[in-house]
A and B are shown apart, each in its own frame.
Chain A
Amino acid sequence: MSKRIDAKDVNIYYGDFRAVESVSMTIEPRSVTAFIGPSGCGKTTFLRTLNRMHEVVPGAHVEGKVELEGVDLYGPDVDPVAVRRTIGMVFQRPNPFPTMSIRDNVLAGVKLNNRRISKSDADELVESSLRGANLWSEVKDRLDKPGSGLSGGQQQRLCIARTIAVRPEVVLMDEPCSALDPISTLAIEDLIQELKKDYTIVIVTHNMQQAARVSDRTAFFNIAGTGKPGKLIEMDDTATIFSSPREKDTEDYVSGRFG
């Protein structure tokens, strides 16, 4: 599992408004890539184009190519539903389905594809996914309780379990810790380190220390001003970005001078 992504000259629009301008980058498999930058710089928007969630917003469209192992995600034969199954996503706020139990939440994506999954297979999958999300020991005794009864950090790990239960190639994370307390954040960060053994991981974060802690490569996005499109300023190994970036904007940002 885990595949590489190549974005080639990607422009992203909301209606007539260009939100992100001409981004090209390569995301390596089995690594963690972090997107950082000030609010409104288009990092979340760009993340959402990587699994075609962007087009869920009315009027939104994308120009350019996003290739997964050389296959353009926006190609004519490609099914957006299959794209989202191959490239999973974890959201800013934990969003387990409130009417489903913990077990059903984990199985939600799997059941869409495979209606008649046997009970033993399902049990196995629930356990392996929850173990994969470091949640198994905490919830194994209450799998039939609703997912909304968990703490915020547990809910977020449940969402991660739900995402990896579908066995995606890539996991996108949109500020997965911004709604969580520091201890839950650490738990998620540890989990990200383990997940990168099997998956390509892309994480958007506001927290530069977090980017420095968890990622192998970092991409810095910025905007020239309100109403202007966001741009990729530079992308490099995380250590380089935080110690000796090429661009002055990047240095200003990572040293906390704005943003």
Chain B
Amino acid sequence: MNTTISAAEAMQQTKEMLTASGQRRKNVDRMMTVVIWFCFALALAPLVSLLWTVLGNGIGRMSIDFLTLSMRNVFPGDPGGGIYHAIVGTLIITGFAALISVPVGVLTAIYLVEYGRGPLARAVTFFVDVMTGIPSIVAGLFVVALFTLILGPGARIGVMGAVALSVLMIPVVVRSSEEMLKLVPNELREASYALGVPKWLTILRVVLRTSVAGLTTGVLLAVARVIGETAPLLIAVGVTDSFNVNPFDGRMMTLPVFAYREYSQGNAPCREGDLGCVTDIAFQNAWGAALTLIAIVMLLNIVGRLVNRWFAPKLR
């Protein structure tokens, strides 16, 4: 515009233009950066605190006895006994839940990816999402209502817990399997059809085999999600101090329910000078069970991610 200004002036003017940015804007930007980093730190704090607490409180109770004994004939305050019955119960009930959920979940995912068109597919997609939001206690109530019809009121057996967990697990399996099946490139399917392989064999041999690592990961993560469920098991399976491996007869103990049960027992009434009595043994048991449970959950999570990383075929 003003052509008469000297080169030096123009340079000075430009310098001001390029260095002077609004201090207020800069401060806001810096402040928001700090706020956003702080939010992340805020989420890590409970995670670290929680893991640390569980580890610190649970490690002291860990022993071979604790992992291999049940609570049968263990009196309040008695530092004996263990969680063997709860570990076995958890494994059996979760195993049964997986046995129900995996076929239903994977088949539904196959339906949605390979066949799904029209209103039924849209309804299934929508309600699978809605189903992920069912409160676990409602799943427990449903199972009790269902089995009351078959077995009469007051029935508490392991398989009821497995069905309740399935209601929670199926939508998770469907969602993750669906994602995995969608990753299988269409070229593979078409290559198979072009060789004259019927659709069902293509799905079994090509689609499922290509995505098996991803499906396994999905299932493991789904198991990890439901293995810590407490409320439905509390009302559908009940509690017991004894060892029971038959999911079709009698109550079973599970790790999360055990942790809650011990927690709700509170301090034991010990007589003074009774060295065989530990006042806070119930809390110690709860933390021990919590540590075992977290170890299982973390193991499932880590194995799940590793399976996917190591065995997934390189599609892209």
Do A and B form a real pair? Answer: yes
Mask of B113-157 contacts with A, CB within 8 angstroms, 1/0 = 000000000000000000000000000000000000000000000
* A70 nearest CB neighbor, chain B only: B11
Mask of A1-26 contacts with B, CB within 8 angstroms, 1/0 = 10100000000000000000000000
Q: List B contacts of A188 (CB < 8 A).
A: none
Q: Is the CB of B19 within 8 A of A69?
A: no
B interface majority secondary structure: helix
* A86 nearest CB neighbor, chain B only: B17
Of A53-61, A72-80, A241-249, the one contacting chain B is A72-80
Distance A85 CA – B21 CA, assembled complex (angstroms): 10
Q: Is the CB of A82 within 8 A of B21?
A: yes
* A78 nearest CB neighbor, chain B only: B18
Q: Judge whether B195 is part of the interface by a CB distance below 8 angstroms.
A: no
Q: Is the CB of B1 within 8 A of A68?
A: no
Which listed residue (A1, A71, A81) contacts B15, Cβ 8 A? Answer: A71
Q: Is the CB of B20 within 8 A of A82?
A: yes
Distance A79 CA – B18 CA, assembled complex (angstroms): 6
* B20 nearest CB neighbor, chain A only: A82
Distance A209 CA – B176 CA, assembled complex (angstroms): 52
Q: List B contacts of A3 (CB < 8 A).
A: 10, 14
Distance A169 CA – B11 CA, assembled complex (angstroms): 13
Q: Is the CB of B18 within 8 A of A68?
A: yes
Q: Is the CB of B18 within 8 A of A82?
A: yes
Which listed residue (B1, B7, B13, B19) contacts A78, Cβ 8 A? Answer: B19
Distance A80 CA – B83 CA, assembled complex (angstroms): 62
Q: Judge whether B198 is part of the interface by a CB distance below 8 angstroms.
A: no
Q: List A contacts of B11 (CB < 8 A).
A: 69-71
Q: Judge whether A183 is part of the interface by a CB distance below 8 angstroms.
A: no
How close is A70's CB to chain B, nearest CB, in angstroms? 4
Q: List B contacts of A122 (CB < 8 A).
A: none
How close is A107's CB to chain B, nearest CB, in angstroms? 16
Which listed residue (B1, B14, B21) contacts A79, Cβ 8 A? Answer: B21
Mask of A65-99 contacts with B, CB within 8 angstroms, 1/0 = 00011110100011101110010000000000000
Interface residues of B in 192-230 (CB under 8 A from A): none
Distance A86 CA – B13 CA, assembled complex (angstroms): 12
Q: Judge whether B46 is part of the interface by a CB distance below 8 angstroms.
A: no
How close is A68's CB to chain B, nearest CB, in angstroms? 5
Q: List A contacts of B10 (CB < 8 A).
A: 3, 69-70
Q: Judge whether B314 is part of the interface by a CB distance below 8 angstroms.
A: no
* B13 nearest CB neighbor, chain A only: A69
Q: Judge whether A112 is part of the interface by a CB distance below 8 angstroms.
A: yes
Mask of B15-37 contacts with A, CB within 8 angstroms, 1/0 = 10111111001100000000000
Distance A68 CA – B12 CA, assembled complex (angstroms): 11
Q: List B contacts of A79 (CB < 8 A).
A: 18-21, 26
* A198 nearest CB neighbor, chain B only: B1
How close is A158's CB to chain B, nearest CB, in angstroms? 24
Distance A138 CA – B39 CA, assembled complex (angstroms): 46
Q: Is the CB of A73 within 8 A of B1?
A: no
Distance A157 CA – B10 CA, assembled complex (angstroms): 30
Q: Is the CB of B14 within 8 A of A70?
A: yes
Distance A31 CA – B14 CA, assembled complex (angstroms): 19
Distance A66 CA – B14 CA, assembled complex (angstroms): 13
* B19 nearest CB neighbor, chain A only: A77
Q: Which of A69, A73, A77, A86 has the most CB of B within 10 A?
A: A69
Q: Which of B7, B11, B18, B21 has the most CB of A within 10 A?
A: B18
Known interface pairs A1-B1, A3-B10; A73-B25 also in contact (CB < 8 Å) = no
How close is B16's CB to chain A, nearest CB, in angstroms? 9
* B10 nearest CB neighbor, chain A only: A69
Q: List A contacts of B13 (CB < 8 A).
A: 69
How close is A116's CB to chain B, nearest CB, in angstroms? 12
Q: Is the CB of B7 within 8 A of A86?
A: no
Interface residues of A in 106-129 (CB under 8 A from B): 112-113
Q: Is the CB of A81 within 8 A of B19?
A: no
Q: List B contacts of A86 (CB < 8 A).
A: 14, 17-18
Q: List A contacts of B17 (CB < 8 A).
A: 82, 86, 169
Distance A113 CA – B22 CA, assembled complex (angstroms): 7
Q: Is the CB of B18 within 8 A of A83?
A: yes
Distance A83 CA – B15 CA, assembled complex (angstroms): 10
Q: Is the CB of B21 within 8 A of A81?
A: yes
Q: List B contacts of A169 (CB < 8 A).
A: 14, 17
Distance A3 CA – B20 CA, assembled complex (angstroms): 18
Q: A residues engaging B (CB < 8 A)?
A: 1, 3, 68-71, 73, 77-79, 81-83, 86, 112-113, 169
Closest 6 CB pairs of A and B: A69-B14, A79-B21, A70-B11, A82-B21, A71-B14, A77-B19
Known: A69-B7, A79-B18. 12 other contacts (CB 8 A): A1-B1, A3-B10, A69-B14, A70-B10, A71-B18, A73-B18, A78-B19, A82-B17, A82-B19, A82-B21, A86-B14, A86-B17
